[in-house]
Amino acid sequence: MSQAIPFTKGHGTGNDFVVISDPDGVLDLTADQVAALCDRHFGIGADGILRVVRSSAIADGAAAHAAGAEWFMDYRNADGSLAEMCGNGTRVFARYLVEAGLATIEEVPVPIGTRAGVVTLARSELGYEVDLGPWRIEDGETLVRAKGLGVPRPGLGVNVGNPHIVVALPHDEELDGLDLAYRPLLDPEPEHGANVEFVVPSDPLIHDGMGEIRMRVFERGVGETLSCGTGVAAAALAIAVHRALDQPHAV
């Protein structure tokens, strides 16, 4: 028996999502159903699904509910797999809550539950912004192979609520020459996979107090996307660590 499910399509800097409102947690979408909805040829088409559910109505939201976060962002990658966090997704999630009359974020920041913990959404002069919370550099080094890269390159593991491997490249030509229709190979492969960012810092890195980098990203469970909010943060942090320089407050 088929079921009609209302949805909204949203995007954050080109990172696009299918948003499904399920406040009471009655929907039980399988991985195959999520993948079908995200399929760009036979489905709606998206990088992932954002299910809007009350923290009290989903098992993964118990800690968020206890911390005072009414809403939980149940994010699923385009292949149907569960994801801890999505930076652009939280901003789209916030906009949806406001448009649907489910929350007010104009003056007071709103806590949102995710599988990476509770994050805080706020208004800014540019729209909506999220505090990703604590981050860490992972131990060890990962060797990254990618089509068009020529030789494998070392990558730095950065966790900003979800896992990333950041590869610094020397020039734009190498970045533009990557074929990210193919998944980069990681050695060792992280237990739960990782998003991979290929980054070229500008030379000089800082212009008028602003850091500048170029980035392409292969998102775990999705493929190459136009943007990745947590990936942008991970890339900026990795370059800061790699360069070991006094960094600007904005990149």
Segment 135-148, tens digit of pLDDT: 999 999 999 999 99
pLDDT tens figures, 149-182: 999 999 999 999 999 999 999 999 999 999 999 9
Angle in degrees, CA 219, 230, 46, rounded to 5:
45
Please tell me the predicted confidence (pLDDT) of residue 209.
81
Copy the structure tokens of residue 68.
Answer: 């005072």
Q: Three-state secondary structure along 8-25?
A: EEEEECCEEEEEEECCCC
- Residue 18, beta-bridge partner list: 9, 49
pLDDT tens figures, 66-104: 999 999 999 999 999 999 999 999 999 999 999 999 999
Q: What's the maximum distance between 2 C-alpha atoms anywhere in the chain?
A: 60
Catalytic residues: 86, 228
Please tell me the predicted confidence (pLDDT) of residue 1.
52
CA distance 117 to 63: 8
Copy the structure tokens of residue 199.
Answer: 């980054």
- Reply yes or no on whether the pLDDT at 207 is more than 90: no
